[in-house]
Amino acid sequence: MFDLVLAITMLSAAALLAGAVYLWRKKGNVRQATLMAVLAFVMLANVVIWTLPVASGEGDAGTSLAGSADTDANP
């Protein structure tokens, strides 16, 4: 399910960028095109954050790692 969310987010970011370019070049609506490009950038940044591994190498995107620092201290 998480893969589907990532795919939809990437596709919608690409569509927003394409729409922003179209608005900027054909219609001259710079303000709306800029907002669409900013939204696409935020969506892509979220995908990058969601897919980055955690520092300890444990866990997966979408899982809670609360309290995992305490378990590393036990020998």
User: Which residues, 6 or more positions from 59, have their beta carbon under 8 angstroms from its beta carbon?
Assistant: 65, 68
Phi-psi region of 52 (alpha: psi -120 to 50; beta: other; left: phi over 0): beta
Nearest-angstrom CA–CA distance, 3 and 66: 23
Task: Report the chain's mean pLDDT, rounded to a whole number.
Answer: 83
Q: Name the 3-class secondary structure at 57.
A: coil
Judge whether residue 30 has pLDDT over 80: yes
- Per-residue pLDDT, 55: 78
Average pLDDT over residues 68-74: 52
What average pLDDT does this structure show over 18-33? 92
Query: DSSP 3-state assignment of 28?
Result: coil
